């Protein structure tokens, strides 16, 4: 069971991340990676996770990101601008906005 203290840490802990290069097949049973994030988190994505952006666009995407100093690939809601593959900047967000994607769901795709 997740303790209140752990949840509190996640809300307050800032993490540094950047876009992960490459695309992955949307897991079956989900409309999109954003849908996957929302269903796993049990909440709606309302704004871009990049603290330097924070836009609340109508269209958010589930962006695959690398987290500084951590292995694995994570998912977080991003606006289309922040998710652009040409955006190679490090960004920051709160830990609670990240979802680690299980390795078996990381199936590369071209589209």
Residue ranges that bind Zn ion, judged by CB under 5 A: 48, 50, 53, 55, 79, 82
Rounded CA separation 75/34 (Å): 8
For residue 66, the Cα-to-chain-centroid distance in whole angstroms is 9
Nearer Cβ to Zn ion (94/105) = 94
State the minimum distance, in angstroms, from the CB of residue 59 to Zn ion.
Answer: 11
State the minimum distance, in angstroms, from the CB of residue 31 to Zn ion.
Answer: 21
Nearer Cβ to Zn ion (73/82) = 82
State the minimum distance, in angstroms, from the CB of residue 110 to Zn ion.
Answer: 25
- Both structure tokens of 10: 């996640």
State the minimum distance, in angstroms, from the CB of residue 95 to Zn ion.
Answer: 18
Nearer Cβ to Zn ion (7/89) = 89
CB 49 within 8 A of CB 93: yes
CB 69 within 8 A of CB 98: no
Nearer Cβ to Zn ion (79/98) = 79
Nearest to 77 by CA among 69, 8, 109, 91: 91
């Amino acid at each position: 069971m997740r303790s209140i203290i752990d949840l509190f840490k996640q809300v307050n802990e800032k993490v540094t991340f950047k876009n992960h290069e490459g695309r992955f097949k949307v897991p079956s049973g989900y409309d999109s990676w954003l849908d996957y994030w929302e269903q796993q988190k049990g909440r709606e994505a309302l704004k871009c996770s990049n603290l330097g952006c924070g836009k609340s666009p109508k269209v958010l995407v589930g962006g695959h990101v690398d987290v500084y100093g951590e292995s694995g690939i994570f998912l977080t809601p991003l606006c289309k601008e922040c998710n652009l593959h040409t955006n190679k900047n490090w960004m920051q967000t709160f830990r609670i906005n990240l979802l680690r994607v299980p390795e078996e769901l990381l199936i590369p795709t071209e589209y």
